[in-house]
Structure 1
Amino acid sequence: MLVSETAKCGTTALPPPPRRGMSSLFFLSSNKNLSFSHYSLSSSFAGTTPSRTFSLSMMEENIENAEAIITKWDPSSSSYTKLTFVFQQSRKEAKEFLKAIKYLRSAMHALLGERLPSSKLVLAQNLMQVAMKRLEKEFYQILSTSRDQLDPESVSSRSSSRTCKFDDEEEGEARSEDELDIAGESITEVERVSVLAMSDLKSIADCMISSGYGKECAKIYKVIRKSMIDEGLYHLGIRRFKSSQIHKMDSEALENEINNWMKAAKIAVKTLFQGEKILCDHVFSASETIKESCFYQITKEGATTLFSFPELIVKNKKVPERIFGLMELHEAISDLWPETESVFSSESTSAIKLQALSLLLKLGDSVRSLLSDFESTIQKDSTKVLVPGGGIYPLTQKVMNYVTSLADYGIILSDILTDYPPPANSSFHETSFKSPMSDEGSTPAVSVHLAWLILVLLCKLDIKAEIYKDVGLAYLFLANNLHFIVEKVHHSPNLKLLLGEDWVAEHTKKVKLYASNYETTAWTKVLSSFPEKPFEMSSEMAKECFRRFNIAFEEAYRKQTSWIVEDVKLRDDLKVSIAQKLVPTYQEFYDTYLVMLTEEKNLELLVRFSPDDLSNYLSDLFHGTSTSVSSTASSSLPPRSCLPL
């Protein structure tokens, strides 16, 4: 037997008083000494013999039995025990080893309450130290050799309920050491190794924690498992960026980094961290404190690095296009929030959970700030250069492309804007805005905000239209731009859904109103060159009407061939509408007075246009190329794509 030199010599030297609770009184470190405060050597021998009970004899026997198997596996006793592992060599003997430690621990507690020579306790303490060194070695070896089988992805794919453990109950003892009966399921060899490894680790951890060596066990676990988590994050591309690095990235590079991060974050939270939590919870189920501490120490650095990337994006320079990446990050983190909240649910990991929650709030604030900045950009546009021909204003294209893209993120944007009040002066929606109602009967915040951006644009376009000196061209400009806006909404399913059919119908009516105002102002002079019906006038008056018509039509034609209507349908609708107002009236006047003027000299100069010519010339309008009537007018011109009347 291993008995300390103190016990052999019978000295009365006693170690310092204990610093821990009774359960860990003897097991403070690998060099711990037997510590107790309510015995003295003289009293330890008093009143023994007759009162020596049968149970004390059993305790001594337990110590002797434990000594046999523990000393056999003393890692410092021989080369064989240094290189061989009991859990690898014989699972049956490993179970006996753990039982021996349990009985040894029980014996030590029982002997504390009895008057027994201190040599027995010293022996038990020495045996416990040897046993703990062996378990430390076994624990490290299992963790090291089972890295592939215990990677977080494999662990997270299996429920912790599918693990077996050494059990002191009869049914546990009856289970075959070479077979696993897991809910009646057959498992692969890899799964078998993984399950056995988890079982062994838990058994060792339970034993060491019960023996007061939980910290030593946890220290080994943290070193090995943290390296696996760090390695996993490295392979996922998770690294710590500097703000200057983000600032130097162009849009494409930053977009790629954001996409890579979102894919990596999903794996990190749902696989790496969740798998590690499952394993950590299983192995250290005997101690809530150790379990939480281990998991926090293993994951805190990696999790902090993971969530630091979106924070840098939030802090980076604000440009309108950045909003889409921010919304994607917000969606990704929102989708991961249930797992994040579950994995980092303990008090020790609450800082990580709060970091993710804070990040969501910051991303939302940044998105709302960019929306506000974009609105200001529209309002502050002070460009006074008019679009030639009343075409589509560049700001119109920019805003509508932006708003259409925002609508594609409608669900995310709706979450971000739910508790965000509409613009202070957004009472417009009571009169100018109709949208599908939510279940609560109110207009969705995202619909209000997008409609508001469009309204701000329309107000800016009204101001731009005032710069045109020709009122007809100003109305054509408004018709062009509003039609472009309506078509953008109509052809964007998401934007149309958010704004609603009523919004589209309302603004389509406004396009027609602008078009009608254009026709009235741009063609009034031409139409007013005819007298009111019925036509009753002299030949001189008829000749004057033809002259006024020629001048007015040529002027209108010359101007409006330089005007632009880019949308084919709108362009054709305008031509048809003008032709319907102009050609029939001219046809009637032409038929009535041409006969009266047949004897007139230079008739072709007086009556320069036939009714068919008008339709041909109207087809030249709105293409943005100015053409003079005098250079093309001829009664002998062949028909040119006459418009239907």
Structure 2
Amino acid sequence: MLDQGDKEERSLQTPEMVSDLEMKMNMTKVAPDSGSYLSVVNQFMQKKGVVGEMEEKLAFAEEKVWGWGTAASVAAGQSMLWECGAEEAGEYLQAVDDIQKLIESLESLSITSDQEGTDILQRADSVLQTAMVRLEEEFSYMLVQSRQPLELELSSFRSSEGYVTEEDFSGCFDDDSIDDSQVKLEGIANKFDEFTVDLINPSVIQNLKCIADLMIQSDHDLECCQAYSSIRRDALDEGLFILGIQKLSIEEVEKMEWEILDSYIKKWIRAIKIFVRVLLASEKRLCNQIFGELSSLGNICFVDTAKGAMLQLLNFGDAIAIGRRSPEKLFGILGMHDVLQDLLTDIETLFSEENGSSVSVEAHEVLLRLGESVRGTFMEFENAIERNVSSTPFARGGIHPLTKYVMNYIKTLTAFKDALDLLLEIKEGGHESPTVSSSTTASPEGSNGSFSKNLSPTVHNLLEVVSMLESNLDMRSRLYRDDALQHFFLMNNIHYMVQKVKSSDLCLLGEDWIRRHNRKVQVHATNYERASWNTVLAWLKDDGIGSGGSKAVKERLKGFNFSFEEIYKNQTSWIVPDPGLREDLQISISLKVVQGYRTFTGRLGSYLDGTRSADKYMKYTAEDLETLLLDLFEGSPRSLNSQRGRR
């Protein structure tokens, strides 16, 4: 036991001195065994040497780390580490690496069981934590400061053209400009497929990778990932903003005016392709460059960064899919369906890991709901045609706005034929077969046309729509009291339909359809001429003239003049918009009327020779009639002077 003096002396010794003293006493106890004694001495001396060396290394690294401090020193005006040059940054990283190795050595060597080893380890841990905070700040700062301007990067993509929509079906149908609309769709331009851009300055990527490696090695991978995701999420949100996309709830989408919603749909179609094929592909590449292609952390960071923005885009698609169905939305929904279908493989690849699978699943579900919305909206388009009725005949017998709208609508739909073939169904036992002529519409074939089962779903459904339109027009034609105007109206509208089919992708309806409807136009034109001009031509027959002499001739000419002038006054206000059809009709009428008049006056005009009233009955020459007939169907009402025609 220690006496009182020994105790006093012991109380003045430091813990290190006490530890050394105890070791010496232990060595004294084992002195009889000289081999054991020397072994313990050697262990002691080695331990003292290792500890001293580690403490020296720690002091050097500690000085380097504490010299730069953390955010407080930055706030005080100290520059960021990497702004001071590669050499300074390299020394800092080396110091952090030395601390990591020092901790590993301390933990691997059994020298932390005593107080001295524990103190060194705690000091090293404290310095490492400070260094990690500093490196996280440097990592975040570098990500922010090195961001490339997305406005510049995306400028070459934002001009990509979208689809062209028609006017609101629920409104008026009289927009003539609809005829000149050009379908510019067939998907968004693919010029940026597989295209990546530098989201940050390439010169800093290696520095970011070095920081990430150190943080991961120090079990600070979560902090590193959070720092990356926080910064890059903001960057992707900025990208969506530049592309014209904003966060909208389903309720906000439903309340949008159609013009605004239509514009937003176009932006969305452009934006989602650029976002997935350019921004997300570039983001994925950046994650791989910083965290390594085979690193699961890189995928975790990517999903955490991109998931929110991707779901924001998909949520808008979902809002459109489940919203109110109206015909004007069909082109937008088809455009959205087309682009999402095209991007599905890209989305599955980007979000292939388990933590991103929910994004892929949501993309699939939104695509299915958009497809269902296409079917429902197409059905609503058909219903709108059948509901569009009137009790008033269309003025002047021209092309009804409904005809223009429907034909231009289905013409635009042909750009989506592939998608429609997958989405639409062939209806059995639905509307009357498209090859059957509508009710009273004359057809050389009668009503025995047969429907080909080899037609694609798109063609089948378009033929159904055309048949509905014909039925609607047939009902409208019956609103006219004048039989001639009934046929005139149907001739105009069916001719317009044929020309639309012949001059566009609607030719997929088939040559047979075109031939049958050309015949319908001819039949209606013939029936119009008979209903209008047979009464005029009847006055030019010479039956029974011989016994009546000049009186009979005068009566015939008087009746002819009256009938001709009545038709002229009425039918100059009628309109045939197509110049070719108008000219054909004028020539056909002229051949019958002028030739009949010339023959009649040539054979019987002598009955009026020598009479003072000859000009009263022979008001027109054949040339006058030819000229007057050119005034027909211009849509401008005219009347003739009661005394004399134009010579």
Please name the residue that 1:111 is paired with.
Answer: 109
Partner of 2:487: 475
Distance 1:287 1:7 in 2: 49
* Structure 1 segment 382-531 matched on structure 2, within 5 A: 382-404=389-411, 406-407=412-413, 410-412=414-416, 414-424=418-428, 425=430, 428=433, 443-491=455-503, 493-496=504-507, 498-499=508-509, 503-529=513-539
Q: Which amino acid aligns with 1:73?
A: K
* Counterparts of 2:152 and 2:298, CA distance in 1: 16
Change (3 A) 1:412 1:616: closer
Alpha carbons 1:208, 1:217 under 8 Å: kept: yes
User: Which residue type is aligned with residue 136 of structure 2?
Assistant: F
Equivalent position to 1:340, from 340, 344, 347: 347
Q: Which residue of 2 aligns with 1:73?
A: 64
CA contact (8 A) 2:477 2:490 kept: yes
Alignment partner for residue 326 of structure 1, among 312, 333, 336? 333
- Determine whether 1:587 maps to 2:598: yes
**Are residue 573 (structure 1) and residue 588 (structure 2) matched?**
no
Provide the C-alpha distance between the structure 2 equivalents of 1:80 and 1:421, rounded to a whole number of angstroms: 64
Residue 562 of structure 1 aligns to a residue in which SS? helix
Query: Does structure 1 residue 142 correspond to structure 2 residue 117?
Result: no
- Aligned pairs for 1:9-408 (under 5 A) are 63=54, 67-75=58-66, 90-94=88-92, 96-97=94-95, 99-101=97-99, 103-104=101-102, 106-107=104-105, 110-111=108-109, 120=117, 123-124=120-121, 126-151=123-148, 194-195=201-202, 197-234=204-241, 236-243=243-250, 245-247=252-254, 249-285=256-292, 288-334=295-341, 336-404=343-411, 406-407=412-413
Aligned residue among 562, 569, 572 for 2:570: 562
What is the rounded CA distance, in whole Å, between the counterparts of 1:80 and 1:238 in structure 2?
A: 35
Quick check: 2:103–2:124 contact (8 Å CA) kept in 1?
no
Listed one character per residue, the Cα deviations across residues 202-242 of structure 1 (whole Å, up to 9, x for unaligned) are: 23333333333322333333333334444444455432224
Give the total of aligned pairs.
549
**Given the superposition, is the C-alpha separation of residues 286 and 312 from structure 1 closer, same or farther in structure 2, using an over 3 Å criterion?**
closer
Structure 1 residue 350 displacement after superposition: 2.5
Q: Residue 151 of structure 1 contacts residue 228 of structure 1 at CA under 8 Å; is this kept in 2?
A: no
- 1:457 Cα offset (Å): 0.9
CA shift for structure 1 position 478: 0.6
Shift in Å, 1:625: 5.9
Q: Give the stretch that moved more between structures: 549-558 or 198-207.
A: 549-558
556-565 or 546-555, which deviates more: 546-555
Contact 1:105–1:211 under 8 Å retained in 2: no
Cα contact 2:250–2:319 (8 A) shared by 1: yes
Gap change, CA 1:607 and 1:551, over 3 Å in 2: same
- Aligned AA (2:536): V
Could you tell me how far apart the structure 2 residues matched to 1:456 and 1:192 are? 54
1:615-630 alignment to 2 at 5 Å? Answer: 615-624=626-635
Residue by residue over 1:461-516, the C-alpha shift from the partner in whole angstroms, topping out at 9 and shown as x without a partner, is 1122223233222111111111222334445x4445x4456544443332122111
User: 1:79/1:216 Cα in 2 relative to 1: closer, same or farther (>3 Å)?
Assistant: closer
- In the alignment, the residues of structure 2 paired with residue 490 and residue 54 of structure 1 have an alpha-carbon distance, to the nearest angstrom, of 102
> Deviation at 1:92?
4.1
Report the Cα offset of residue 387 of structure 1.
1.8
For each residue in 1:367-422, what CA deviation from the matched residue of structure 2 results, as whole angstroms up to 9, or x when unmatched? 33222212111112220201233222232233234334x24xx4345324433214
Which consecutive residues of structure 2, in runs of 5 or more, have no partner in the other structure? 1-13, 20-35, 155-197, 438-452
Listed one character per residue, the Cα deviations across residues 268-317 of structure 1 (whole Å, up to 9, x for unaligned) are 43444333333333333398453333333333333333333344444554
State the match for 2:548 in structure 1: 540
Query: CA 1:105–1:274 in 2, change beyond 3 Å: closer, same or farther?
Result: farther
Q: 1:467 to 1:622 in 2, by over 3 A?
A: same
Structure 2 counterpart of 1:167:
none
Q: Which amino acid aligns with 1:555?
A: S
CA shift in 2, pair 1:66/1:513, >3 Å: farther
Letter paired with 1:370: T
Distance 2:635 2:525 in 1: 17
User: Shift of the alpha carbon at 1:354?
Assistant: 3.3
CA distance in 2, matches of 1:592, 1:367: 68
- 1:538-573 CA-to-partner distances (Å, cap 9, x unmatched) read 242785476356436633541454231332332221
**3-state DSSP of counterpart to 2:216:** helix
For 2:58, the aligned partner's letter is E
Do 1:142 and 1:197's aligned partners in 2 also have CA atoms closer than 8 Å?
no
CA RMSD of aligned residues (A): 4.7
CA distance in 2 between counterparts of 1:508 and 1:620 reads 25
Q: Residues 261 and 126 of structure 1: is their aligned pair in 2 closer, same or farther, counting only changes over 3 Å? A: same
Q: What SS does the corresponding residue of 1:90 show, helix, strand or coil? A: helix
Contact 2:386 2:468 in 1 (8 A): yes
Alpha-carbon separation, structure 2, partners of 1:361 and 1:48: 78
Check whether the contact 2:325–2:380 (CA below 8 A) recurs between aligned residues: no
Whether the aligned pair in 2 keeps the contact of 1:153 and 1:272 (CA below 8 Å) is no
Return the letter of the residue paired with 2:546: S
User: CA contact under 8 A between 2:291 and 2:297: conserved in structure 1?
Assistant: yes
Q: Calculate percent identity across the aligned residue pairs.
A: 25
Inter-CA distance 151–470: structure 2 relative to 1 (3 Å threshold)? same
Using structure 1 for the length normalisation, give the TM-score. 0.70
Deviation at 1:57, TM superposition (A): 11
Distance in 2, Cα, partners of 1:9 & 1:382: 108
Q: One-letter code of the match for 2:469?
A: L
Q: Is the 8 A contact 1:152 1:274 kept in 2?
A: no
Residue identity opposite 1:521 in structure 2: A
Q: Quick one: distance in 1 between partners of 2:69 and 2:597?
A: 120
**TM score, norm. by length of structure 2:** 0.70
User: Using the alignment, how far apart are the partners of 1:8 and 1:262 within structure 2?
Assistant: 77
Q: Secondary structure at the match of 1:418?
A: helix
* Contact 1:422-1:448 at 8 Å conserved across structures: yes
